[in-house]
């Protein structure tokens, strides 16, 4: 199979020229789905979700059931991080977790009744919020409920987001005993000035000790989240953070661009725009991170993800098996996602759905044994065609006309005539190459894949609406 994965030594480091910066000085989706979540609407509710589950049951040969992915949203946090755009509830009252667990188990039982017990599951992800806000006993309870409801495959990826401030080596050992085999540590930045500005204080030493403990325990993959573009970040301070990250050598690194949207996310109003790095500085931060990680042997996966060559994510990238879902890049085949908890987003067949965003609404729906769907979307044929093309670009870095024609039943050169005509600027900047056979994203183009994919986004083309998305660089 042809792939677009050069060896580490041959990877071209992107150069952010003024012309390229002007071309890409815009906002855009991260394409964890297409259409993106801002296109969901309230015409898709509990009834439509129930129908989607029913269609899944009717249309599936019981002997060939594709495994589900399950996402659980734990919204509670003990303290507020000012940069955060997640749906969270700030509280130090841990007793609030108990009614939430009751509701999660009821919601889980509703899915079992709709789908049947023992559906295969190959991925489980606990996100938030702060999943480690829950006690070991509470997490054990949830894992027991999941095992009772589903048939978890022997090779399942079971991951949890860990706030280093709420964990120690003993906690990691307990998580492993429950079945968790992948961890993600939220670090963002090690600089004390930056940490104070975003209200997230955690020492390098505490993260180092957790990393060492996780490795001793044998976790198969450890991810570290970083953010560039935070207040008071400088080229010098971020270089120190990057040096410390490289010393810890996590298996995966997610390097996100901070999206300052204070009108949408109230906590961000505590961050002064005057304290944010300038656009040229942001590019310097990004370029230094990219070069540093590549020099250390990391493989650039796509978007803002890096992985060591022996990590399963890098292997999936190399083999052309990379997928993308609401949690980002994935190694598992494209699959339906059961989403549990307040604000959680799922996917069943050609539909997307999102639960209500407040606890009161969530509890009210679940207490009536009604699916807590607030909004969603049933994809049209055009949506499905464009999703396939955008995900092929996002995951494989190419668009093969013949394969697209065979798989989707269209002539892509005719169907996307307008879009293809608008790729000249990307080709001029060396971000992609066009041949009679299709489009191939260049090594440099991989770093700007969002901009290329946006060309095929009908909804953006129709509305021109970009303000709700983060900056591309």
Q: Is 379 helix (H, G, I), strand (E, B) or coil?
A: coil
Residue 188 annotated in ligand binding: yes
Binding site annotation covers 144? no
* 186 is annotated as contributing to ligand binding: no
Backbone angles phi, psi at 246, to 5 degrees: -65, -35
Asked if residue 128 belongs to a known ligand binding site, the reply is: yes
Check the annotation: does 425 bind a ligand: no
For residue 71, say whether it is annotated as part of any ligand binding site. Answer: yes
What string of DSSP letters covers 297-308?
TPEEEETTEEE-
CA distance 346 to 70: 9
Quick one: angle between helices 97-115 and 46-58, nearest 10?
Answer: 50
Query: Residue 83 annotated as binding?
Result: yes
Asked whether 194 and 233 are in contact (CB, 8 A), the reply is: yes
- Is 225 marked as binding a ligand? yes
- What is the C-alpha to C-alpha distance for residues 450 and 66, in angstroms, rounded to an integer? 29
Residue 335, annotated as binding a ligand: no
Q: Name, in order, each residue with C-beta under 8 angstroms of 10's C-beta and a sequence gap of 6 or more.
A: 443
The answer to whether the CB of 142 falls within 8 A of the CB of 108 is: no
129 annotated among ligand-binding-site residues: yes
- 109 labeled binding residue: no
| 323-325 and 305-307 strand pairing | unpaired
300 CB neighbour count, 10 Å cutoff: 22
Contact status, residue 77 vs residue 128, Cβ threshold 8 Å: yes
Q: Tell me whether residue 209 is annotated as binding.
A: no
130 assigned ligand-binding residue:
yes
Chain centroid, CA 54 distance in Å? 27
C-alpha span between 280 and 285 (Å, rounded) = 9
- List residues forming the annotated binding site for S-adenosyl-L-methionine: 71, 83-85, 128-130, 161, 188, 200, 225, 259, 345
- List residues forming the annotated binding site for [4Fe-4S] cluster: 77, 81, 84
- List residues forming the annotated binding site: 71, 77, 81, 83-85, 128-130, 161, 188, 200, 225, 259, 345
């Amino acid at each position: 199979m042809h792939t677009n994965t050069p060896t580490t030594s041959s990877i071209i480091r992107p150069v952010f020229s003024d012309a390229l910066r002007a071309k890409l000085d815009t906002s855009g989706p991260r394409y964890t789905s297409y259409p993106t979540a801002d296109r969901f609407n309230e015409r898709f509710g509990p009834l439509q979700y129930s129908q989607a589950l029913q269609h899944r049951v009717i249309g599936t040969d019981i002997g060939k059931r594709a495994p589900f992915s399950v996402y659980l949203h734990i919204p509670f946090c003990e303290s507020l991080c000012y940069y955060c755009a997640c749906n969270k509830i700030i509280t130090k009252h841990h007793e609030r977790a108990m009614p939430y667990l009751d509701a999660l188990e009821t919601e889980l039982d509703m899915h079992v009744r709709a789908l049947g017990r023992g559906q295969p599951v190959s991925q489980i992800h606990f996100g938030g919020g702060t999943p480690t806000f829950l006690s070991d006993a509470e997490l054990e309870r949830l894992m027991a409920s999941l095992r009772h409801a589903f048939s978890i495959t022997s090779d399942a990826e079971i991951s949890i987001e860990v706030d280093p401030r709420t964990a120690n080596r003993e906690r990691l050992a307990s998580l492993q005993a429950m079945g968790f085999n992948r961890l993600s540590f939220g670090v963002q930045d090690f600089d004390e000035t930056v940490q104070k500005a975003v209200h997230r204080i955690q020492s390098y030493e505490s993260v180092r000790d957790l990393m060492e403990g996780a490795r001793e325990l044998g976790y198969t993959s450890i991810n570290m989240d970083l953010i560039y573009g935070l207040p008071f970040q400088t080229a010098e301070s971020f270089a120190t953070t990057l040096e410390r990250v490289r010393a810890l050598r996590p298996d995966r690194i997610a390097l996100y661009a901070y999206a300052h949207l204070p009108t949408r996310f109230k906590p961000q109003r505590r961050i002064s725009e005057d304290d944010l790095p300038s656009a040229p500085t942001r590019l310097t931060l990004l370029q230094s991170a990219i070069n540093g990680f590549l020099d250390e042997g990391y493989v650039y996966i796509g978007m803002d993800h890096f992985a060591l060559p022996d990590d399963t994510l890098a292997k999936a990238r190399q083999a052309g098996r990379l997928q993308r879902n609401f949690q980002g890049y994935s190694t598992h085949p494209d699959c339906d996602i059961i989403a549990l908890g307040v604000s959680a987003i799922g996917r069943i067949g050609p539909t997307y759905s999102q639960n209500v965003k407040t606890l009161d609404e969530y509890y009210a729906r679940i207490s009536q044994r009604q699916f807590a769907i607030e909004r969603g979307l049933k994809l049209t044929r055009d949506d499905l065609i464009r999703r396939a093309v955008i995900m092929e670009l996002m995951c494989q870095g190419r668009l093969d006309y013949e394969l697209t024609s065979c798989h989707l039943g269209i002539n892509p050169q005719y169907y996307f005539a307008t879009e293809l005509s608008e790729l000249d600027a990307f080709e001029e900047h060396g971000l992609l190459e066009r041949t009679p056979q299709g489009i191939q994203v260049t090594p440099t183009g991989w770093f700007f894949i969002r901009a290329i994919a946006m060309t095929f986004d009908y909804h953006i083309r129709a509305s021109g609406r970009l303000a709700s998305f983060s900056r591309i660089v």
